[in-house]
Amino acid sequence: MRRILVLSGGIGGARFLRGLLRAAPEAEVTVIGNTGDDIHLFGLKVCPDLDTVMYTLGGGIHEGQGWGRADETFAVKEELAAYGVGPEWFGLGDRDFATHIVRTQMLAAGYPLSAVTEALCQRWQPGVRLLPMTDDRVETHVLIDAPDGSGNDGGADGRRRAVHFQEYWVRLRAAVPAHAVVPVGADQARPAPGVLEAIAEADVVVFPPSNPVVSVGTILAVPGIREAIADAGVPVVGLSPIIGNAPVRGMADKVLAAVGVEATAAAVARHYGPGLLDAWLVDTVDADSVAEVEAAGIRCRAVPLLMTDTEATAEMARAALTIATEVKAA
Ligand code: FO1
């Protein structure tokens, strides 16, 4: 399993990758990063999931938060707020701003996001090849109830409105019902250069414990990516982001409800489906669901899935590679 392809969201994906690199130091790891969380703020293009992977593997992440830079200051944000320029609910720090300025400048000069990401990674040396899922603009929006009198009514029934994923996630803390999750632009997007080639050349494809709807699901929504993975003829292995019927972190259960999927390890495996997924790891507390997942045609094993530290995470990655080897041998 020399060439490993990973579909990654932000924090969960990035932490898993750190364990994977320890478990398989000789491997060539390519990461397809979700860009549906991207947002334009203050005239800048912010790519939270790409940056989280880059900073985590490059040693610049704020470890406690899991996103943003270590040793961060917020002078620019405070100055913007003094001008009354928001949004104030999104915490962009001074060090992080520099990344978005460089990215936006390069995009304005005509470089595609994939080339810009490669350039940013020159500094961070993440130890993986990081590819955005697409160079085209995709923005995940969430359909929520419009508060009475908001003036924002826009849904078919006049009582719902779509908000950017970051507004739903960060400002609203996913505390309001999500009726639908729409990766706007995904249907017209093309996989970024290198994405389909990386899938074709991979020995194994791994879905880390990232959000199955707004992270891995958004990557799979780019036409051609799901099909290429399903047809690649190599083991596709996933690790459940749900442990004991609750997300390990984040609010994956809220967006799972929006797509009609129960927040259980087995339901997420069925959501990916046996046409895509060959093997699935659930946590030991969900050992009861192994039979159910296997009945759905997906090889399954229960192992500890809490990413408490890099060694525990490396052990998860080893389990993923072991079950992939079994799939290949079967
Ligand atoms: N998450 C928060 O909960 N609050 C923030 O203010 C925030 C700012 C932010 C800035 C840059 C960045 O790269 C990520 C940031 N995140 C923040 C994380 C992000 O909202 C999400 O966790 C991901 O998009 C989901 O993968």
Q: What is the dihedral of CA 286, 289, 291, 297, to 10 degrees?
A: -120
Ligand 1, from 7, 90, 96, 139: best to mutate by most atoms within 8 Å of Cβ?
90
Check residue 247 and give its pLDDT. Answer: 80
176 in Cβ contact with 133 (< 8 Å): no
Decide whether any atom of ligand 1 lies within 6 Å of the 54 Cβ. Answer: no
Domain at 3-134+187-329, CATH class: alpha beta
Report how far ligand 1's centroid is from the alpha carbon of 154 (Å): 26
Three-state DSSP state, 109: coil
Decide whether any atom of ligand 1 lies within 6 Å of the 51 Cβ. Answer: yes
Three-state DSSP state, 305: coil
154 in Cβ contact with 161 (< 8 Å): yes
Q: What are the residue ranges spanned by the domains of the chain? A: 3-134+187-329, 140-183
| 236-239 and 204-207 beta bridge pairing | parallel
Q: Is 187 annotated as a binding residue?
A: no
Q: What does the alpha-carbon distance between residue 280 and residue 296 come to, in Å, rounded to a whole number?
A: 11
Check residue 148 and give its pLDDT. Answer: 58
Decide whether any atom of ligand 1 lies within 6 Å of the 251 Cβ. Answer: no
Give the number of the atom of ligand 1 that is nearest the alpha carbon of residue 52. Answer: 13
CA angle 192, 197, 202 (to 5 degrees): 120
Q: What does the alpha-carbon distance between residue 251 and residue 213 come to, in Å, rounded to a whole number?
A: 11
Give exposure, 133-161, as e/b (b: 16+ Cβ within 10 Å): bbbbebbbbbbbebeeeeeeeebeeeebb
Digitized pLDDT (tens) for each residue of the chain, 330 residues in all: 799 999 999 999 999 999 999 999 999 999 999 999 999 999 999 999 999 999 999 999 999 999 999 999 999 999 999 999 999 999 999 999 999 999 999 999 999 999 999 999 999 999 999 999 999 999 999 999 987 545 454 445 568 999 999 999 999 999 999 999 999 999 999 999 999 999 999 999 999 999 999 999 999 999 999 999 999 999 999 999 999 988 887 777 888 988 999 999 999 999 999 999 999 999 999 999 999 999 999 999 999 999 999 999 999 999 999 999 999 999
Which residue is closest in CA terms to ligand 1's atom 14? 48
Which residue is closest in CA terms to ligand 1's atom 1? 170
CA angle 242, 248, 252 (to 5 degrees): 65
Three-state DSSP state, 200: helix
Give the number of the atom of ligand 1 that is nearest the alpha carbon of residue 250. Answer: 22
Q: What does the alpha-carbon distance between residue 10 and residue 47 come to, in Å, rounded to a whole number?
A: 10
Beta bridge partners of 288: none
